[in-house]
Copies of this chain bind each other. A is one copy, B any other.
Amino acid sequence: MSQILLTPGPVPLHPEVIRILAQPMIHHRTPAFDEILSSCLQKLPKIFGTREKVFMHSSTGSGGMESVLVNVLSPGDKVLAIVSGKFGERWAEMAKTFGMQVDILNVNWGEAVTEEQVQNRLLTHTYRAVLCQACETSTAVLHPIRELGELIAKLPETLFLVDGITAVGAADLPMDLFHIDGLVAGSQKALMLPTGLSFVSFSQKAQKYFATATCPRFYFDIRKEQKANTGGETFYSSNVLLVRALDWVLNFIEQQGLKTFLNTVQRRSVMTHHFLSLAGLRSYSKNPSPSLTAIVLPENSPGVEMRKHLEDKYSVVVMGGQDQLKGKILRIGHMGYIQDSDMQSFFEALMKTFLDFKIAGWTEDKMKTIVEQMRNWCQKNS
């Protein structure tokens, strides 16, 4: 039975990616692979919006988050961690683990941090770095990265480190223009690949700390990759399978232009918010990211069971909420190889689930009307 995968990573794969994943294995120290790697290393900076180099690690996104910290920070460094959900918590905990003095700027879940909140901290404290998610995946919030970047750029000794795992390739996030000093992305998000690669890049301002940062690091030591990449290779065994597919994805993005590619993701977000309004539902995030939407379930819904029901009965896989949001929201991703029909099927299945669970106010007729309205929207906006 074929499932509809609508999670904020991993995402549905393009048929061409699947075809490339099924190619015979080749060795990574060969001219054939060198060419592919070189093509990727040349194209990745365009996706990051930077003149700097982008490096790859064979790891999940969290490995990339670790890389961004350990390559430019030292134990004892004072950092400000903006925490607005699960991934903010993780990054703050990571920084503590590596011996940094971490001040937490807690932001209400569902809200974006404000310039003012950050400015207040920066006026009274001196930080070596500010950590922020571009998109906090647990709440679907997009933070004002451009504005924060402008603030932090004024401080010569403070780095702006951004977790762009659920944002790079989905939201407009040009690293150089937004004054981002360290940016991380992951393969299983907007880059439409399976999990297994993370990507990191550092501004000139950040790179000068490569030599002085005293966090012990080996696997994630970017200096090794720098040297190896210069010679056209990766330092460790290359992730041949994903890098080959990455090359196709980067070409795919280049052919249509990054802006068009971002618009495709953005359009699914707009579509989702339109469908929500048709259904009288609302988004949890007060500043929604284009990469995913967190849908608030009708009050007193048995959210955990409903998510499972969607999967078991209607073969639609979406994510629920975590921690304080458990059972209260559903999170659907807008990245990857998604068809309009997948989005419509999800919403129809969601409404059927409301009927199955006898949620107040839901009738077969209401559902049919909305299904019709969704179809019309998709036709008009195709």
Q: Is A287 an interface residue (CB 8 A)?
A: no
Tell me whether A22 and B21 are in contact (CB under 8 A).
yes
Q: Tell me which residues from 178 to 220 in chain A have a Cβ below 8 Å from any Cβ of chain B.
A: 186, 188, 194-196, 215-220
Partner of A99 from the list B10, B30, B216, B311 (CB cut-off 8 Å) is: B216
Q: Is A377 an interface residue (CB 8 A)?
A: no
Tell me whether A62 and B27 are in contact (CB under 8 A).
no
The minimal Cβ–Cβ distance linking A61 to chain B, given in whole angstroms, is 7
Task: Tell me the count of chain A residues lying within 8 A, CB to CB, of chain B.
Answer: 56
Tell me whether A97 and B217 are in contact (CB under 8 A).
yes
Partner of A58 from the list B9, B60, B220, B241 (CB cut-off 8 Å) is: B60
Contacts of A28 in B (CB 8 A): 10, 195
Taking each of A10, A26, A29, which has the highest tally of chain B beta carbons within 10 Å of its own beta carbon?
A10
Q: Is A370 an interface residue (CB 8 A)?
A: no
Q: Is A19 an interface residue (CB 8 A)?
A: yes
Say whether, besides A26-B317, A317-B27, A240 and B195 are in contact (CB < 8 Å).
yes
Partner of A5 from the list B7, B25, B60, B195 (CB cut-off 8 Å) is: B25
Q: How far is the CA of A186 from the CA of B59 in the complex (A)?
A: 14
Contacts of A30 in B (CB 8 A): 311, 317
Say whether, besides A19-B22, A195-B240, A218-B97, A27 and B10 are in contact (CB < 8 Å).
yes
Q: Is A280 an interface residue (CB 8 A)?
A: no
Q: Is A18 an interface residue (CB 8 A)?
A: yes
Tell me whether B62 and A29 are in contact (CB under 8 A).
no
SS class, residues of chain A in contact with chain B: loop
Q: Is A343 an interface residue (CB 8 A)?
A: no
Contacts of A19 in B (CB 8 A): 22
Partner of A63 from the list B59, B94, B216 (CB cut-off 8 Å) is: B59
Q: Is A348 an interface residue (CB 8 A)?
A: no
Q: How far is the CA of A216 from the CA of B94 in the complex (A)?
A: 9
Partner of A25 from the list B12, B219, B241 (CB cut-off 8 Å) is: B12
Q: Is A341 an interface residue (CB 8 A)?
A: no
Nearest to A317 among chain B residues (CB) is: B27
Tell me whether B218 and A98 are in contact (CB under 8 A).
yes
Tell me whether A25 and B63 are in contact (CB under 8 A).
no
> Per-position contact with B for A92-107: 1 when CB-CB < 8 Å, else 0?
0110011100000000
Tell me whether A98 and B188 are in contact (CB under 8 A).
no
Partner of A215 from the list B27, B29, B188, B216 (CB cut-off 8 Å) is: B216
Contacts of A221 in B (CB 8 A): 97
Q: How far is the CA of A87 from the CA of B60 in the complex (A)?
A: 24
The minimal Cβ–Cβ distance linking A8 to chain B, given in whole angstroms, is 10
**Nearest 6 Cβ contacts at the A-B interface:** A22-B22, A194-B241, A60-B236, A195-B237, A66-B219, A60-B237
List 15 extra interface pairs beyond A10-B26, A10-B27, CB under 8 A: A3-B26, A11-B25, A21-B21, A21-B241, A26-B317, A27-B317, A59-B59, A60-B237, A60-B239, A62-B219, A62-B236, A62-B237, A97-B217, A195-B237, A195-B241
Residues of chain A whose beta carbon lies under 8 Å from any beta carbon of chain B:
2-3, 5, 7, 9-13, 18-19, 21-22, 24-30, 57-63, 66, 75, 93-94, 97-99, 186, 188, 194-196, 215-221, 236-242, 311, 317, 319
Q: Provide a sorted-by-A list of 23 A–B residue pairs whose CB atoms are within 8 angstroms.
A: A2-B24, A5-B24, A10-B237, A12-B24, A13-B24, A13-B25, A19-B22, A21-B241, A22-B22, A28-B195, A58-B58, A58-B60, A58-B195, A59-B219, A61-B236, A62-B237, A66-B218, A75-B216, A98-B218, A194-B241, A195-B238, A215-B216, A241-B241
